[in-house]
Structure 1
Amino acid sequence: MKEFDRSRIKVLPLKQRDNKFGLDVMVSIDSKPEKIDAPSLWFLAKDIAKARKEDKEVVWMMGAHPIRRGNSLIIIDLMKRGIITHLATSGAGAIHDFEFFYQGETCEDVEKYIKDGRFGNWDAAGYWINYAAKKASKEGKGFGETLGEVIKEMSDSAETETIHHFGEASIFAAAYELKIPITIHKGIGFDITDQSQFADFASLGKASGKDFLIFAASMEKIVEKGGVFLNVGSAVMGPEVFLKSLSMVRNALLNEGKKICSFITANFDFIDSDLTCEGKPDEASYYYRPRKTILFRSVKDGGKSYSIAGDFRKTIPNLHQLLKNGG
């Protein structure tokens, strides 16, 4: 079958691209967040603080939007405080994190650039993220860990260009430095980095597959001892990766004659979910993955779930503030 030849694509320097968000969008860890009407957030913070005091896992799964909304410094602070024990994200999350590091800006105007095919066809992320995938595949390491290593090395290098001055904004670099598992869960063709002729799909598959198993290992700790799983702004990837890894872990533990524990889940979304009823098959909300998977099916064995609705620029800083104060 005929394949598209990516070498035909004209690739432009990332510095020529207009972006929607700069580092000024970052929420300071010392700022006082706007108050919101979300009483369940207080109870969630208490449960997270309790879990960490008992040395239980707090796994933070997210899409790209929390990064775009300026929460990177807050997430980094939660890792530094030992609250987040595993961070997982999508390929797009990795791209936004890298671009904030690389040039202090991210998020191109899709409507503007798709008209003439410039959308996604920029040099930096396409090269470096795919370089990290190849390096991870070759060395048998995780994709997220290796990207963090690459960003940290670029940030520390004396020969680095002046645009590489924003290492403090990288979640991946922070996780690598703190030795906290960070994983990338991507699909082929989902991300602009797949348009690049530097994308080696075998390496991407191997590296992301490695991360899936690293993620499952963290989920095993939750299932064995209890803990907290947070899905923050991921409508498909987060719930699906969580569901598959949960089934794997429960299967293995029960097959080995071990007990499985209940745990706590939370879903951060723009859409509020009714926790009193799962819904019916003839209702559209019944099929919404974050609601169905995160808030109902996975905690029917005695666990507990929270639905936190609102702008991530408000909900995440408020959670951070509560946790800073001890939950």
Structure 2
Amino acid sequence: MSRLTTYPLQRRHSKVRIADFAKPWKTGGRFYQFLEWLPDILAVKTLRSVAQAIVRAHRRRRPVILGMGAHPIKVGLSPLVIDLMNRGIITAMALNGAGIIHDFEIALLGQTSEDVEAEIDSGRFGMAEETGRLLNEAIALGAGNGLGLGEAVGAYIDSRKRVFPHRSLSVLATATRLGIPVTVHVAIGTDIIHMHPSADGAAIGACSLVDFRKLAAVVAGMEGGVYLNLGSAVILPEVFLKAVTLGRNLGHSLTNITTVNMDFIPHYRPLTNVVKRPTQKGGTGYSLIGHHEIMFPLLMASVLEQLR
């Protein structure tokens, strides 16, 4: 032990410095101060980098695509998403099949998210009549007109004012009204409306295929843009990876893209198919893990403060 070699602590690289520490909150302070006083360490660094990437894409008029599962709608984030679309910050949106169900029910009744545990034993789970009948009707009408599933449901909600008194809180209706690409990517059998007799597999498949190609076209043009995966652990990460591949196969380089995974817990597919694989040719992938109802408002407030 007497031959052990040491060196001065000052010469060692340290990852944490007091300049990076948080500052105590002062009562009556402003939100931008709260953001500035967060510790410049780990997830806060990621939060700031992601916000900067979104701001940079917005200022350069590059796409900011939101891939969103159903949970963000269920935890009350629709008004934030709608505000960001109205501001021109979110320029395209993709949902999984469950997303349209909760968006539809919010627009129809102003409430959603049934108690599955209370209904599963009786066979009542997923059997709300209006949800199955009207959504399947919207999809069938959309298929007949050659529409994608997102546009079909969005137009259906937006055009029926008396039926959907809360349509102003529908992300699908808002996107359709603003002319923002909104796509829906369905796995047959995963959504409650597939259990209803009005479900038309050909219509669902045709509309969802239109939407995959629509999303692929948007992704092909996202050089310099941002893709956010918010709360989809499986479907949208898989769809996004294929859209990136299709775009590159058709000659779009996609070497300068930012991808972000925002989920409740780490999952293999979002980390692999959103953060790592699409950016290995060029770009940066980030992971912001946490509760959607906290992390997404915090991120978007940071974006708006930087734009201010």
Same fold (TM over 0.5): yes
**Which residue pairs with 2:208 in the alignment?**
208
Distance 2:99 2:253 in 1: 35
Residues 183 and 211, structure 2, Cα contact 8 Å, conserved in 1: yes
Name 1:220's counterpart in structure 2: 220
Equivalent in the alignment of 2:130: 124
SS at match of 1:59: strand
Q: Secondary structure at the match of 1:105?
A: coil
Match of 2:282 in 1: 302
Of the three residues 120, 133, 143, the one matched with 2:139 is 133
Q: For 1:258-308, what per-residue CA distance to the aligned partner results, in whole angstroms no more than 9, with x for missing partners?
A: 644321000001225xxxxxxxxxxxx7xx111111111111112101111
- Are residue 72 (structure 1) and residue 70 (structure 2) matched? no
Q: Do the aligned partners of 2:255 and 2:279 also contact (CA within 8 Å) in 1? A: no
Aligned-CA RMSD value: 1.8
Is residue 94 from structure 1 mapped to residue 100 from structure 2 by the alignment? yes
CA-to-aligned-CA distance 1:60-106 (integer Å, 9 cap, x gap): 00111111111000000010110111110111011000001111110
Q: Secondary structure at the match of 2:112?
A: strand
Deviations along 1:37-63, one digit per CA (max 9) or x if unpaired, are 741112111111111111111110011
Tell me which amino acid in the other structure corresponds to 2:264.
Answer: F
SS at 1:304 equivalent: strand
Which residue does 1:311 correspond to in 2? 291
Query: Which residue number in structure 2 is paired with residue 184 of structure 1?
Result: 184
Q: What is the aligned counterpart of 1:49 among 43, 52, 55?
A: 55
Matched, 1:271 2:242: no
* Aligned residue type for 1:170: S
Determine the C-alpha separation between the residues in 2 that align with 1:95 and 1:104: 12
**Residue 293 of structure 1 is aligned with which of 256, 268, 273?**
273
Counterpart of 2:176, as a letter, is Y
User: Percent identical across equivalent pairs?
Assistant: 39
How far apart, in 1, do the equivalents of 2:300 and 2:280 lie? 28
1:172 alignment counterpart: 172
CA deviation map 1:156-183 (0-9, x unaligned): xxxx25xx32112110111011110101
Structure number with larger C-alpha Rg: 2
Equivalent AA in structure 1 for residue 211 of structure 2: D
Which amino acid in the other structure matches residue 81 of structure 1? R
Aligned: 1:108 with 2:114: yes
- Note the residue ranges of structure 2 that are not aligned, 5 or more in a row: 1-30
Distance (Å, rounded) in 1 between the aligned partners of 2:245 and 2:285 = 18
SS at match of 2:187: coil
CA distance in 2, matches of 1:238, 1:170: 20
Residue in structure 1 matched with residue 25 of structure 2 by the alignment: none
The answer to whether the 8 A contact 2:184-2:211 is kept is yes
Paired with 1:259 and 1:112, the residues of 2 have a C-alpha distance of 50
**Bigger Cα displacement from structure 2, 258-267 vs 118-127:** 258-267
- Specify the code of the residue in structure 2 equivalent to 1:266: V
Measure, in 1, the Cα distance between the counterparts of 2:111 and 2:120.
Answer: 19
**Aligned AA (1:319):** L
SS of 1:154's equivalent?
Answer: coil
Measured in 2, the distance between the counterparts of 1:219 and 1:260 equals 9
CA deviations 1:304-323 (Å, max 9, x no partner) are 01111111010111112112
Instruction: Read off the aligned partner of 2:50 and give its amino acid letter.
Output: L
Q: Give unmatched runs, 5+ long, in structure 1.
A: 1-31, 273-284
Give the AA of the match of 1:234: S
Q: What is residue 193 of structure 1 aligned with on the other side?
A: 193
The match for 2:242 is 244
Query: Residue 151 of structure 1 is aligned with which of 154, 157, 178?
Result: 157
Count of residues in correspondence between the two structures: 270
What secondary structure does 1:248 align onto?
Answer: helix
